[in-house]
Structure 1
């Protein structure tokens, strides 16, 4: 099996149009290359958001809290199918219907490693039943917890360095889409 850092990602321009490909490692080497990514935000039926604490072995933003899962679709792959597969691989959730909420473009340098996230990030939102069994991969995830959206927003405002730098933008995109996505409706009711 090819290591995650050796897998290919799709490079894109500012409009999200594919321009080529490179490895995950190269895309995240300073100054960073804009590439396609996805972030999955999961809510349960009570409207709580699943957050994961990234594993200590992560090469970018280790031990920071983030959304349910993140990843990079391989060039030519289907975004939603790749995201659904990563959801199973990272936290063990199967069969959650995912809805496209929008795109968040960002660039952030990890001060601990010098690695750079420069991503055209497709935000996907799903809803799962309360009590959905989670099975986090310890190589990917150090911890998980369900948090009410209003508490999550407070924590992001009060202690932003505890969270991955993309998470606030991902939450904002999902919240803005709440009126048109049943899976995200709880985000708009705070």
Structure 2
């Protein structure tokens, strides 16, 4: 199979998921279980949620706050503070600015994707998994294990979607329980 054909197949699920996310907020609030979007941006949502203090610090250090305050839409797979505690290195430190920015881009996909959108895309795919390309140009693979939605980075890192998603004015925050990239110190071992 040619590289161009592989790329088309890799992007096809992303297109399907992006189209599924194009419905308006009224469609989401009519019994699908998802709340209507707030007037707050993704950056403001992360800033106000104590579970994402480390992520907010990394976001500020990487100077990407303006992006997540911008138009969007984006979906951020937001690692909790506990996910950062388990990783090597302090990505909020000035010396880790580039690594923090790379980690953040690997957790952001274009489009506003709710869990219902992700689950519908998994169900439509005959393989039981669907892939999305991140802002870091890496692939995230989504699948189900029992009732849990699992997301895996193309480097082998895995996380579960946890907690409640938050619909922001410019996208969606999807909490995850682990980093979707392996920190540089861990990858070198």
| TM-score, reference length from structure 1 | 0.24
Q: Which has the higher strand share?
A: 1
Q: Which has the higher helix share?
A: 2
